[in-house]
A and B are shown apart, each in its own frame.
Chain A
Amino acid sequence: NPSLNKNKTLHGRFLHITDIHPDQFYLEGSDIGEMCHRTKTDDSSKSNKAPIFGKAMAGCDTPIILMNETFKWIDKNLKDKIDFVMWTGDNIRHDNDRNYPRTEAEIFDYNLKLSNVLYDIFKDSNGDVDENPYDLGVNVIPSIGNNDVFPHNMFSMGPTLQTREFYRIWRHFIPQEQQRFFDNGVSFFTEIIPNKLAVISINTLYLFKSNPLVDNCTKKNQPGYKLLIWFGQILTEMRKRNMKVWIIGHVPPIKKNFQKSCFDKFTLWINEFSDIIIGNVYGHMNIDHFIPVDTRDSIDSI
């Protein structure tokens, strides 16, 4: 890295982690039917009780113990073997319990907690962190999830309190020169190898059908429209520099998730830049799978 005058060993490996959804109210031994938050029934059968590490398919969020142990494992087993981390959002429990309504403060609080945990794991271990807090041993590239905003799914064009708060929360991960653009829309990119390899983190909430504060990507006053101009300019510049790039975000760019005009335009961009785009990695749906997206449909549509 010429700007930091530092060498870094590359391993040819990176981590993708998503949808952590930690739940501070998860209570071991509570009723699964009560979102694993409390005990209401006399039913003592083990199958209806919340186990210490959580239970698959039960509908409860992530126990803090499970999250902490997972991070400890990553710290111990992966930290020194990877080059960067894609972290694609949803860092807070679901808002599914009327006894504990999720608040904006709680959302920010948990996003900050997780941001600090990841920073502590992956910061440079050479002892010069205080001199340059942006110099991470392993780059972490976060992206915003539909549960990381308040109210759920709703995110308007920046600068807003929320965009500024996310800059504060992710300050170690966002290159300084991108602060202004980040404030406008919570999208940014990180150079893993300067002028060679980068990861672009897209705020997919501006393209997301379920965000009631955005309508489409055809009107110039829409945040999705501005995001696509930004995206196109970044890709064009990266092509000029002969860079290669990964695209990441929370909500996957497939028809059922994106507003139609946003889906079509986004699809065209990622296909037009298939000479430099290495791949597209997302979260949100909890299922490990892949979707092939056909550009011809979008060309016809536009």
Chain B
Amino acid sequence: YLSSKFTSNNDNNDDDDEFYDNNLSIDEYIRDLARESKEVQMMGAAPVNKGSYMDKVRKEYYQKVFEEIEGIEDVDKQEGDEFEIKKKKKKNKKDKKKKRKLRRDLDQLIREYNIISIGASIIPTFNPSFRVWEYNITGLEDELQVANKNNKSWNDFFHELEKILQKETISMDNQANDDDDDDELENLIIKNDKTIPKLTNHKLGPAYENQLFTPIRYVQYYINLEKINHKYYELMASDNDDISKEGAIRQSFEVDIEYVSNSDPYNMETLIVPEYFELMKKLYLDDEIWQEYLDLAFAKSGYKD
């Protein structure tokens, strides 16, 4: 088991967020696993190396996006400079073209990305936290009026899906065995592999442009455990005999707003991918904003590695 895990460069820790060094020998890897297993036994789910994980997120994801955006803007700037020298008179016309090209290149980059949102937990790894998302419902009533009533029933759909699943798994069984390395056959398999989508040129949806159902904003709630524990024990220590344990729990428990996505450091007008691109630029360039982001990522618990 360990051997198979090792060869696929896996990590094996629950909720673990570290990027493992793929150059470890199997002995080192097993030793690491044993040490971590012992730590889990000793420390439960106490956070370890989460700051270093977030630094890697900044470097491997946000920096990459930033550099790609910069690359597009730099190329565009160079082209613009050459043009300045050659044809100053037609500046305005070319400027428009330049902007259109920049927009097109950025649009192309943006549509190649998907944003994966990862939520904070109730378990107090940091402070407990949860999120309320808000989404655009403007125009929904008009949409409902033109809803297509000719769709087949989901029952019929699932009946057909069952046949597809049966056919797929049987036909693929007959196509090739594990040792086939023939390129043509491999291409054929990939072409007919229904687990790979046919790529089409489609319009961008609500994740990319503000429209019906686009997420607009979120409110991140959190529970400041230190504050409510303190309040509870203060109440219990007071001379007021009327306060029962249940009463003190009720009076001390509070949920606060931790932040909202349209305030610092996010300042996002909507939650579409182009806005995330802007945010990633800021998070990569500005250390102060990055520190604020980390503080919120760890639910204002003050966590540091």
What residues of chain A have their CB less than 8 Å away from a CB belonging to chain B?
Answer: 10, 12-21, 33, 35, 51-62, 65-67, 69-70, 73, 77-78, 82, 88, 90, 94, 96-98, 146-147, 152-153, 175, 177-178, 180-181, 193, 195-197, 209-210, 212, 217, 219-221, 225-226, 228-230, 232-233, 237, 240-242, 244, 252-254, 256, 259-260, 265, 267-296, 299, 302
B64 to chain A, nearest CB (A): 8
8 Å CB contact of A195 from B57, B116, B140, B147: B147
Assembled-state Cα–Cα distance A289/B121 (Å): 12
Nearest-neighbour CB distance to chain B for A25, whole angstroms, equals 12
18 A-B residue contacts at CB 8 Å? A13-B134, A20-B121, A20-B122, A52-B249, A58-B44, A58-B46, A62-B122, A70-B128, A73-B255, A96-B41, A210-B10, A221-B169, A278-B213, A284-B15, A285-B118, A286-B125, A291-B57, A296-B112
- Within 8 Å CB of A77, what residues of B? 255
12 new A-B contacts, CB < 8 A, other than A51-B232, A294-B113, are A20-B122, A53-B253, A67-B122, A90-B123, A180-B158, A196-B147, A209-B11, A232-B195, A233-B161, A233-B164, A256-B17, A287-B120
B165 touches A229 (CB 8 A): yes
Given contacts A52-B249, A58-B46, A233-B161, contact A285 B15 (CB under 8 A): yes
Docked-complex contact A244 and B205, CB < 8 angstroms: yes
Q: Does B229 have its Cβ within 8 Å of any Cβ on chain A?
A: yes
Partner of A280, one of B8, B14, B50, B117: B117
Given that A277-B205, A279-B207 are known contacts, is A197 also in contact with B213, CB under 8 Å in the complex?
Answer: yes
Inter-chain contact A280/B115, CB cutoff 8 Å: yes
Report whether A290 and B116 are in contact in the complex, using a CB–CB cutoff of 8 Å: yes
Asked whether A209 and B8 contact (CB < 8 A) given A70-B122, A277-B207, the answer is yes
**Chain A residues in 8 Å Cβ range of B165:** 226, 229-230
Decide if A268 touches B1 in the complex (CB within 8 Å). Answer: no
Tally of contacts, chain A with chain B, CB under 8 A: 333
CB-defined interface of B161-195 with A at 8 Å, one 1/0 digit per residue? 11011001100110000100000000000100011
Residues of A within 8 A of B123 (CB): 19-21, 61-62, 90, 286
Closest Cβ–Cβ distance, residue A256 to chain B (whole Å): 6
5 A-B pairs closest in CB distance: A59-B46, A19-B121, A59-B44, A21-B123, A228-B195
Q: Which of A21, A254, A259, A302 contacts B116 (CB 8 A)?
A: A254
Q: Which residues of B contact A278 (CB under 8 A)?
A: 135, 205-207, 213-215
B109-138: CB near A (< 8 Å → 1, else 0) gives 001111111111111111111111111110
- Contact status B114-A292, CB under 8 Å: yes
Kindly state the separation between the CA atoms of A271 and B111 in the bound complex, as whole angstroms.
Answer: 8
Binds A, one of B70-78, B79-87, B218-226: B218-226
